Amino acid sequence: MFYIESERLKLIPLNYHQLRIYNNSEALAENLGLKAAKVETEPFFQSEFDDALQNHWAPLVEQNPDNYIWYTNWLIVLKEENIAVGGIGVTGLPDENGACETGYGMDLNQRGKGYATEALICLANWAFQNPDLKTIIAHTPLDLLNSQRVLQKAGFQYVKTEEELILWELKSI
């Protein structure tokens, strides 16, 4: 099984089968050799996640089996406890401008511990190994200060505010 890791975390890109069983936390944990734990989040973010699972990740992973890791949700696993604490990913291979977008979500009980920042730095370091990738972008709602702080700590720079969202970017070195 392919994964990347940081000091405290293991990031596991979910294949098509794992995406299909994602909502059965016990089956997914068994498949990945983890302790079962359901990632809990606010209803709004759970709705966005469910939509992404069904309409983005699963179809794109199925269509891009050789590059699925660029289109999937990566499970954020706390190595010490061997449990899932969130998810992270990018929107696909770099576009014609050398950019892709990232997004992440953390379990309500695991926030404020630096895991999102650590996972974002780990994923960005992996992604920038692709020579075509020049910029990773992210969007945050104006009022989501915790997520903005994660991006800042991971080295992202404010670009501009677009309606109700802030655009951030991280350039390759």
Output the six-digit token pair for 33. Answer: 């050799």
- Reported as a single tens digit per residue, the pLDDT across 43-83 is 878 888 888 989 999 999 999 999 999 999 999 999 999 99
The Cα–Cα gap between 155 and 137 comes to: 11
Output the six-digit token pair for 144. Answer: 């989501």
Q: How many CB atoms lie within 10 A of CB 106?
A: 24
Helix (H, G, I), strand (E, B) or coil at 56: helix
The Cα–Cα gap between 156 and 150 comes to: 9
Output the six-digit token pair for 11. Answer: 């990031």
- Reported as a single tens digit per residue, the pLDDT across 121-147 is 999 999 999 999 999 999 999 999 999
The pTM of the whole model exceeds 0.75: yes
> 105, 43 in Cβ contact below 8 A?
no
pLDDT of residue 65: 94
Rg (CA), the chain: 15
Once rounded to an integer, what is the mean pLDDT over residues 17-31? 93
